[in-house]
Structure 1
């Protein structure tokens, strides 16, 4: 059966009005196409015509009970680097930060880092055990955990290896791969301090060991002081239950600290008087220094920022004219206080506008208007957080930490914009 069509309005009034309006205006803001130009393009769906998708009914309300993105956004997905690890079960993929707006990362686009693949866990059979230097060792079901007073907070989560492939020089052709090991979500769960009050922490306890229920039995040592401060035992992410790849049904959320201590698929917490090393804890992330020594327990993710538009995936394809430089900044020390932007490789800086809300230990959006004259640019952003910490240059970071580490590479990043608007990853001192 032929699909019904919507008739055009009677008489010439609509088309003639639009044509006269366009002529009277003389020009359009930021280079938008005029009516005559749109008609000359030869697409019957362009204004002032009625497009085909207005001429028949679309899908009903139960066509996709959970909901899916538009088919036209099929390229906005997580991606991995095939040569990075031997297997995908112990690997990472990257958030498409170049395609996102706002500060909340959709659940299906949050980067993944696994050490033994994603376990399939029945929440009815999952348990959280808290033991060690406590007065009352307890085992909690999911239902019991959800009976406790809950909190919801927005925080970023970042792998300490984010940007780590760039220590010795520019390597990754795209912001998704150079900075995409970060996401920001609203997390809901129980404060860990609430659960620790339930079991009774003994005076000798100073550290805890958190263990996940994946095949790697991922474990990390965390100071008790952080646990009593702001750690959340989370079961929801952006309003729904945590996705399997992000820790379903239960995970730790450790605001502002290395992603690897945010144990997913949480099953056990043991309290002790010192950090665990070889016997119970799997290898912790360490930073290899120039003298051969290794820093350990470098928990805080320091202030970082990157321009997400323009970038290699988002070139300046309209040529000369107005653009808005956009990006994200974040810090494990608290709120972002300001972000400065340079178009000449750091010789001159302008302060960007911060988008509200500006939250502690969360992604912060920044914007700066630009009237581009078509000349080459070296784009950089530099974040300063509320503690006074300023994002360093790559030269300063190398002087302090050498070239042997892959962790905590938070230096100022540079995009080179070429006269044709294409953008490439470079590194300048």
Structure 2
């Protein structure tokens, strides 16, 4: 069952097994002498005891420079991902870009094409917003059924940061505003990266103009190289590859340019052989991060069920949790007012009776969209696609307390 429990029933006192008497807290070695000096690490580092909380690669890629690493969701707290744990997806490795020589050009259907230095950009009005990023291939491992993988490898192409930068609309205004050309109107914008793959995506202008940022900072510091230093595009709620890293060019155009990354790549093949092209928003999704595969329940009793929910179409309205394989559901508690297109942490109390259980979560976003089951998703789209999987994820808990993706 789901429900609350008195704190005294959750936290057991330290007692002598033989006498049952409470034992005093000892004086540990680290309490006997001064610790490390200030500025021992000028840039703060995690404790050595957290050395296992790292990004991990799911698989080897056949193309040189193409790679990804995944965020350790089960080890994180709150909704913000530390910069050193933000997932990576590269098509040609990470370029080493000198910000003093980096330039951003904006041209095409604008009145005054402009070339911006980083100093130019940082002198423009800026704003900070919290948004998630999710690779469109996140959770692709589950299309054909439970993969047996832990949550880092199933859902870890997902992170959430505070991003700081300049509105796309501000840059267009600085370039004199939009302009037509021989009757053609600017309806799309092409974004191009400075990596060796020249990652390039076409985006519909009416869906990004009021939301997109050109960002140079995340979580209060400059972008990390693997996350686009010194400049990237941020399109809240859109699949990760559209948030072009190492941004060097923005071109206003009248139609999509049908680049490699929007034709042979990042299209969604349907069961009948057709393809869904230009599928941008990431649909509502959730996952339980604790307990999850790799954890083990050590005794029957109270356990918190904790997870994350998000939607590329708005804020999370509700998350429901089931401990009986979806036969019944109960609303989880959300951490604070959910933000638009950001991760939301959810919590539900659970008393485990020591028997087998199947735990699931289901998200509903502000549009009313409800996260589907895997079966419903496959019925609608078939099994030909590798992208945009957002089916309900279940974890099985065996009688010995082990948690499995099964």
TM-score band (shorter)?
A: over 0.9
- Which structure 2 residues correspond to residues 265-284 of structure 1 after superposition, within 5 A? 265-278=246-259, 283-284=264-265
Which residue is 1:424 aligned to?
404
Residues 187 and 254, structure 2, Cα contact 8 Å, conserved in 1:
yes
What's 1:43 paired with?
none
Counterparts of 1:367 and 1:278, CA distance in 2: 42
Distance 2:343 2:105 in 1: 32
Show the counterpart of 1:254. 235
Written as runs of structure 1 = structure 2, the 5 A alignment for 1:193-204 is 193-199=169-175, 200-203=177-180, 204=185
Matches within 5 A, 1:18-417: 29-37=9-17, 47-83=24-60, 85-87=61-63, 89-199=65-175, 200-203=177-180, 204-278=185-259, 283-316=264-297, 318-417=298-397
Larger-gyration structure (1/2):
1
Aligned-pair CA distance for 1:134: 1.1
What is the deviation of 1:364?
0.3
Cα deviations by residue, 1:198-238 (Å, 9 ceiling, x for unpaired): 11211411001100000100000001113311000000000
Rounded to whole Å, the distance in 1 between the matches of 2:237 and 2:18 is: 49
- In the superposition, the TM-score normalised over structure 2's length comes to 0.93
Question: In 2, are the aligned partners of 1:39 and 1:47 still within 8 Å (CA)?
Answer: no
Cα drift, residue 156 of structure 1: 0.3
Question: TM-score, normalized by length of structure 1?
Answer: 0.88
How far did 1:29 drift?
A: 3.9
Task: Give the CA deviation at 1:91.
Answer: 1.4
- Hey, what's the Cα distance between the residues in 1 that align with 2:162 and 2:317? 21
Is the contact between residue 218 and residue 263 of structure 1 (CA under 8 Å) also seen in structure 2?
yes
Q: 1:189 to 1:79 in 2, by over 3 A?
A: same
Query: For residues 172 and 403 of structure 1, what CA distance do their matches in structure 2 show?
Result: 18
The C-alpha deviation readout for 1:240-291, integer Å capped at 9, x for no partner, is: 0000000000000100010000000000001110000158978541000000
CA contact (8 A) 2:201 2:261 kept: no
Residues 1:406 and 1:391: Cα distance change in structure 2 (over 3 Å): same
Shift of 1:375: 1.1
Distance 2:263 2:272 in 1: 25
User: For residues 69-107 of structure 1, what are the alpha-carbon distances to aligned partners after superposition, in whole Å with 9 as ceiling and x for unaligned?
Assistant: 000000000000234x22572011110000001010000
Contact 2:294-2:402 at 8 Å conserved across structures:
no
In the alignment, is the contact (CA less than 8 A) between 1:211 and 1:263 conserved in 2? yes
Structure 2 Cα separation of the partners of residues 287 and 281 of structure 1? 10
CA contact (8 A) 2:263 2:277 kept: no
Unaligned runs of 5+ in 1: 1-26, 41-45
Supply the distance in 2 between the matched residues of 1:31 and 1:325 (Cα, whole angstroms).
17
Offset of 1:39 from its aligned partner? Answer: 11
Consecutive unaligned residues in structure 2, runs of 5 or more: 1-6
Contact 2:306 2:347 in 1 (8 A): yes
3-state secondary structure, aligned to 2:99 = coil
Kept after mapping to 2: 8 A contact 1:98/1:313: no
Q: Answer whether contact 1:300 1:333 (CA < 8 A) is retained.
A: yes
> Residue 313 of structure 1: CA displacement?
2.2
